[in-house]
Amino acid sequence: MIELVGRGIVPGRVRAPALVTREPISGFGGIDVATGTVIEPRHELFGQCFTGRVLVFPGAKGSSGWSGFFQSTRLMGTAPAALVFDVITTKAVLGAIVTRVPTVVQAAPAPVDTIRTGDLVEVDGDTGRIVVIRTDGVAVHSGE
Protein backbone atom coordinates (compact mmCIF):
# COMPACT_ATOMS: atom_id res chain seq x y z
CA MET A 1 0.00 0.00 0.00
CA ILE A 2 1.28 3.42 -0.92
CA GLU A 3 -0.04 6.63 0.55
CA LEU A 4 0.22 10.03 -1.13
CA VAL A 5 -0.62 13.24 0.67
CA GLY A 6 -1.75 16.43 -0.99
CA ARG A 7 -4.40 19.09 -0.60
CA GLY A 8 -8.07 18.24 -1.00
CA ILE A 9 -9.91 20.94 -2.95
CA VAL A 10 -13.24 19.20 -3.55
CA PRO A 11 -14.58 17.08 -0.69
CA GLY A 12 -15.73 13.48 -0.77
CA ARG A 13 -14.14 10.03 -0.76
CA VAL A 14 -14.17 7.52 -3.59
CA ARG A 15 -12.47 4.21 -4.50
CA ALA A 16 -11.92 3.45 -8.19
CA PRO A 17 -9.31 2.28 -10.70
CA ALA A 18 -6.87 4.90 -11.92
CA LEU A 19 -6.29 6.25 -15.41
CA VAL A 20 -2.89 7.95 -15.48
CA THR A 21 -1.21 10.23 -17.99
CA ARG A 22 1.94 12.33 -17.95
CA GLU A 23 0.43 14.64 -20.58
CA PRO A 24 -1.82 17.60 -19.74
CA ILE A 25 -5.42 17.27 -20.90
CA SER A 26 -7.51 19.63 -23.03
CA GLY A 27 -11.21 20.00 -22.22
CA PHE A 28 -12.53 21.65 -25.37
CA GLY A 29 -11.29 19.60 -28.32
CA GLY A 30 -9.64 17.15 -25.95
CA ILE A 31 -12.52 15.15 -24.51
CA ASP A 32 -15.90 13.94 -25.71
CA VAL A 33 -18.40 14.60 -22.95
CA ALA A 34 -21.03 12.21 -24.31
CA THR A 35 -18.71 9.21 -23.93
CA GLY A 36 -16.18 10.42 -21.34
CA THR A 37 -13.35 9.74 -23.76
CA VAL A 38 -10.08 11.51 -24.60
CA ILE A 39 -10.27 12.48 -28.30
CA GLU A 40 -7.10 14.53 -28.91
CA PRO A 41 -5.38 12.46 -31.63
CA ARG A 42 -1.81 12.87 -30.39
CA HIS A 43 -2.64 12.31 -26.71
CA GLU A 44 -1.33 9.16 -25.06
CA LEU A 45 -4.83 8.52 -23.68
CA PHE A 46 -6.45 8.89 -27.11
CA GLY A 47 -9.59 6.75 -27.22
CA GLN A 48 -9.51 5.93 -23.49
CA CYS A 49 -12.58 6.42 -21.30
CA PHE A 50 -12.21 8.13 -17.91
CA THR A 51 -15.80 7.65 -16.72
CA GLY A 52 -15.84 6.21 -13.21
CA ARG A 53 -12.05 6.21 -12.97
CA VAL A 54 -9.63 8.31 -10.96
CA LEU A 55 -8.09 10.59 -13.56
CA VAL A 56 -4.45 11.26 -12.66
CA PHE A 57 -2.84 13.91 -14.85
CA PRO A 58 -0.38 16.80 -14.59
CA GLY A 59 -2.87 19.58 -15.31
CA ALA A 60 -5.16 21.29 -17.78
CA LYS A 61 -4.22 22.80 -21.11
CA GLY A 62 -5.98 24.55 -23.96
CA SER A 63 -9.23 26.43 -24.07
CA SER A 64 -11.07 28.06 -21.19
CA GLY A 65 -13.89 25.68 -22.05
CA TRP A 66 -12.06 23.15 -19.82
CA SER A 67 -14.29 23.63 -16.78
CA GLY A 68 -17.49 23.67 -18.81
CA PHE A 69 -16.56 20.45 -20.61
CA PHE A 70 -15.78 18.61 -17.39
CA GLN A 71 -18.94 20.05 -15.80
CA SER A 72 -20.84 18.59 -18.75
CA THR A 73 -19.42 15.12 -18.03
CA ARG A 74 -21.20 15.37 -14.67
CA LEU A 75 -24.44 16.44 -16.34
CA MET A 76 -24.14 13.67 -18.95
CA GLY A 77 -23.16 10.97 -16.44
CA THR A 78 -19.69 10.41 -17.87
CA ALA A 79 -17.55 12.13 -15.22
CA PRO A 80 -14.38 10.68 -13.72
CA ALA A 81 -14.77 9.27 -10.20
CA ALA A 82 -12.10 11.62 -8.88
CA LEU A 83 -9.43 14.02 -10.11
CA VAL A 84 -5.76 14.09 -9.10
CA PHE A 85 -3.47 16.72 -10.60
CA ASP A 86 -0.43 18.85 -9.82
CA VAL A 87 -0.43 22.13 -11.70
CA ILE A 88 -2.84 24.62 -10.17
CA THR A 89 -4.60 26.67 -12.83
CA THR A 90 -7.97 28.37 -12.88
CA LYS A 91 -9.09 25.97 -15.61
CA ALA A 92 -8.36 22.77 -13.69
CA VAL A 93 -9.44 24.07 -10.27
CA LEU A 94 -12.74 25.51 -11.49
CA GLY A 95 -13.22 22.34 -13.55
CA ALA A 96 -12.82 20.18 -10.46
CA ILE A 97 -15.28 22.31 -8.49
CA VAL A 98 -18.03 22.14 -11.10
CA THR A 99 -17.40 18.45 -11.85
CA ARG A 100 -18.00 17.95 -8.10
CA VAL A 101 -15.85 14.85 -7.75
CA PRO A 102 -13.32 14.33 -4.94
CA THR A 103 -10.16 16.15 -5.95
CA VAL A 104 -6.66 16.16 -4.52
CA VAL A 105 -3.90 18.42 -5.85
CA GLN A 106 -0.12 18.58 -5.46
CA ALA A 107 0.22 15.25 -3.70
CA ALA A 108 3.59 13.76 -2.75
CA PRO A 109 5.12 11.53 -3.89
CA ALA A 110 4.20 12.69 -7.38
CA PRO A 111 0.99 10.90 -8.45
CA VAL A 112 1.92 10.50 -12.14
CA ASP A 113 5.16 8.77 -11.07
CA THR A 114 3.58 6.67 -8.33
CA ILE A 115 0.15 5.61 -9.55
CA ARG A 116 -0.23 3.39 -12.63
CA THR A 117 -3.20 2.94 -14.88
CA GLY A 118 -5.30 0.11 -13.47
CA ASP A 119 -4.27 0.60 -9.83
CA LEU A 120 -7.20 0.65 -7.43
CA VAL A 121 -6.94 3.91 -5.51
CA GLU A 122 -8.89 5.74 -2.85
CA VAL A 123 -9.07 9.52 -3.11
CA ASP A 124 -10.14 11.54 -0.09
CA GLY A 125 -10.93 15.12 -1.02
CA ASP A 126 -11.45 16.09 2.63
CA THR A 127 -8.07 15.05 3.98
CA GLY A 128 -6.05 15.24 0.75
CA ARG A 129 -4.96 11.60 1.11
CA ILE A 130 -4.66 9.17 -1.78
CA VAL A 131 -4.14 5.49 -1.03
CA VAL A 132 -3.09 2.98 -3.65
CA ILE A 133 -4.99 -0.06 -2.40
CA ARG A 134 -4.05 -2.61 -4.99
CA THR A 135 -1.54 -2.33 -7.79
CA ASP A 136 -2.81 -3.73 -11.04
CA GLY A 137 -0.85 -1.20 -13.00
CA VAL A 138 0.76 -1.67 -16.35
CA ALA A 139 4.21 -1.19 -14.84
CA VAL A 140 5.80 -2.46 -11.63
CA HIS A 141 6.53 0.10 -8.97
CA SER A 142 10.06 0.61 -7.90
CA GLY A 143 10.71 0.40 -4.18
CA GLU A 144 7.64 -1.63 -3.38
User: What are the DSSP calls for 38-103, one per residue?
Assistant: E--TTSTTTT-B-TTSEEEES-EES-TTHHHHHHHHHHHT---SEEEESS--HHHHHHHHHHTS-E
What residues numbered 9-48 form the site for another protein, per CB under 8 A? 9-10, 24, 28-30, 33-34, 39-41
Whether 26 is catalytic is no
- In DSSP terms, 123 is beta-bridged to 14, 130
Closest CA to 13 of 138, 85, 104: 104
Per-residue binder mask for another protein (CB under 8 A), 60-99, x = binder: xxxxxxxxx--xx--xx----------xxxxx-xxxxxx-
Q: In this chain, which stretch among 12-20, 57-65, 116-124, 127-135 interacts with another protein, using CB under 8 A? A: 57-65
Q: List residues binding another protein (CB under 8 A).
A: 9-10, 24, 28-30, 33-34, 39-41, 59-68, 71-72, 75-76, 87-91, 93-98
- Hey, which residues are catalytic here? 63
